[in-house]
Structure 1
Amino acid sequence: MIKKQITTEIEVYEKESELPKHIQQLMLKAKEVRLNAYAPYSKFLVGAAILLDNGEVVTGSNQENSSYPSGLCAERTAIYAAGANYPNQKILQIAIAAGPKERENINPVPPCGACRQAIAEYEQKQEQAIEVYFMGKTGKVCRVASLLSLLPLAFDRHFL
């Protein structure tokens, strides 16, 4: 038997103003689009903003449905829109802001498992890491250099 240890490195910024200016702007877009979420059931609003290598920013917010599995998270809404509208552009960074509609949340909210898998697919497709920044409604911001830092044993096309 061999034991292997997997470690993750996450940078934590105490406040948004510590981020590079272009990431501050990307996070602002995520916070703005978060308010467009359709979340009548969970009342948990999420916004995502993606920076492409051509300078375009693609956004998405979570969209719920009374048939719960039919809804879609903000990250996947944005990443699939980027893939559909800019299929030849690489995704450089994604910023995510999330929190309950009716109360404060200062704890950074990472992407869910399904969104991690979707972002990992695009990292594999473009053969380049995607930086992921995530936060609550306010407060600290976390950064990982690659989605694979959050999903180190990602399922990919090599298993097929």
Structure 2
Amino acid sequence: MKEVKIESTFKVYDDLGELPDAIQQLMQSAIATRENAYAPYSKFKVGAAILLDNNEVVVGSNQENASYPSGLCAERTAIYFAGAKYPNAKILTMAITASSQNQVTNSPIPPCGACRQSISEYEIKQEQPIEIYFMGAMGKVVKSNSLANLLPLGFDRSFL
């Protein structure tokens, strides 16, 4: 038997003002898009903004449906649209922000498991890490240099 230790490293910024200007702008796009979320059931709105290597910014917000789980998260809305509209572009950076109408969200909120798996697919496909920044409605912002930090031992096409 052998024990394996897996570690992840993140950078934590105290607030948006500490981020590089380009990342602040990307996060502001995610914040603006968050307000377009359709979340009448959960009251939990999420916005995502993706910077592509062709300098396009693609955004997405979560879209709920009374027939759970027919809705779609903001991250997957954005990443699937990017893949459909710009199939040859690489994803450089993703900014994610979430807010709740039921409570204050001032802690960083990472992508859910389904979104992590979807982002992982694109990271593997492009053979290049995707920087991911995530936050609540306010407060600290966390940066991961790669989706692999958020989903170690991921499932990919090599298993199929």
Query: Same fold, TM exceeding 0.5?
Result: yes
Q: Provide the C-alpha distance between the structure 1 equivalents of 2:59 and 2:28, rounded to a whole number of angstroms.
A: 11
Instruction: Report the equivalent of 1:27.
Output: 27
Q: Provide the C-alpha distance between the structure 2 equivalents of 1:78 and 1:129, rounded to a whole number of angstroms.
A: 17
Q: Using the TM superposition, give the Cα deviation of residue 103 of structure 1 relative to its aligned residue in structure 2, in angstroms.
A: 3.6
Superposed, 1:105-144 pairs within 5 Å as: 105-144=105-144
SS at match of 1:69: coil
Instruction: Report the equivalent of 2:92.
Output: 92
Gaps of at least 5 residues in structure 1 are none
Q: Cα deviation per residue 1:24-55 (whole Å; 9 max; x = unaligned)?
A: 00000000000000000000000000000010
Q: Cα deviation per residue 1:4-31 (whole Å; 9 max; x = unaligned)?
A: 0111101100011111100000000000
Q: Using the TM superposition, give the Cα deviation of residue 104 of structure 1 relative to its aligned residue in structure 2, in angstroms.
A: 2.3
Q: Cα deviation per residue 1:86-106 (whole Å; 9 max; x = unaligned)?
A: 000000000000020254211
Q: Cα deviation per residue 1:89-139 (whole Å; 9 max; x = unaligned)?
A: 000000000020254211000000000000000001100000000000011
Q: Provide the C-alpha distance between the structure 2 equivalents of 1:121 and 1:101, rounded to a whole number of angstroms.
A: 31
When the two structures are superposed, what TM-score results if normalisation uses the length of structure 1?
0.98
Q: Provide the C-alpha distance between the structure 1 equivalents of 2:102 and 2:159, rounded to a whole number of angstroms.
A: 43
Structure 1 stretches of 4+ moved >2 Å: 101-104
Q: Which amino acid aligns with 2:125?
A: K
Matched-pair identity in %: 65
Give me the CA root mean square deviation.
Answer: 0.7
Instruction: Report the equivalent of 2:69.
Output: 69
Instruction: Report the equivalent of 2:101.
Output: 101
Q: Which amino acid aligns with 2:141?
A: V
Q: Provide the C-alpha distance between the structure 1 equivalents of 2:60 and 2:124, rounded to a whole number of angstroms.
A: 21
Gaps of at least 5 residues in structure 2 are none
